[in-house]
Amino acid sequence: MAGSLNKVQLIGRLGADPEIKQMVNGKNVARLSIATSQSWKDKSTGERKEKTEWHRIVIFNEGLVNVVQQYLKKGANVYVEGQLTTRKWRDEKLGQDKYSTEIVLQGYNSSLTMLDGKNKSNNSNEKTENTKSNLPNDEMSQASSDLDDEIPF
C-alpha cells in the first residue's frame, strides 16, 4: 500500500538491565523493557493518578546492541525509534498460538538515544546523551561525515 508508515517513537526508562542473546547466525540481539508513564489529576476527586505502559524493544542493529551492552542499565532514560512488529509462535505444551508485539530497531529506520547526561557506569565526564545510529556500521557513518566536509556551500 502506498503511503503507509510503521514508526514508533518512545521516551522512557528501562525496567531491567538489557538482555543480550546470541542468535543462531552468531550475531547478538538486545531485548529491553521500557516504561512510559502519563499522569493526570482526577477531576472528580482531585487525586493525582498515573498510568504506566511497558514496551518490549528488540534491537538487531549490531552497533546499537554494542552500545546497549556497554552503557545501558536498569533505570536509564532512553529515546527509541523503530517499527511495531507482532510475532506469532506455537506453544507446543499448551497447543496454543502465542503473540508478542514489539518495537524492533533494525536497519536505517531505527535509532537509540541515551538521554541521561553522563555515563553512570564510570566517573568520567564523557557525554553519552546522543548515541544514535541510523547506519548499519560505523564505517559508513564516518564516510558520510567525510562527504559533508566536501560540500561547497
Rounded distance between C-alpha atoms, residue 54 and residue 46, angstroms = 26
Domain ranges of the chain: 8-148
Q: Which residues contact 102 (CB under 8 A, 6 or more apart)?
A: 56, 57, 58, 84, 85, 86, 87
Q: How far is CA 129 from CA 28, 50, 135, 137, in A?
A: 23, 27, 18, 19
Q: 60: pLDDT confidence band, cut at 50, 70 and 90?
A: very high
The pLDDT of residue 34: 97
Rounded to an integer, what distance in angstroms lies between the CA atom of residue 119 and that of residue 70? Answer: 10
Taking domain 8-148, whether its CATH number is 2.40.50.140 is answered by yes
Residue range 136-147, pLDDT digits in tens: 334 333 333 344
Measured CA distances, 52 to 13, 35, 37 (Å): 11, 6, 4
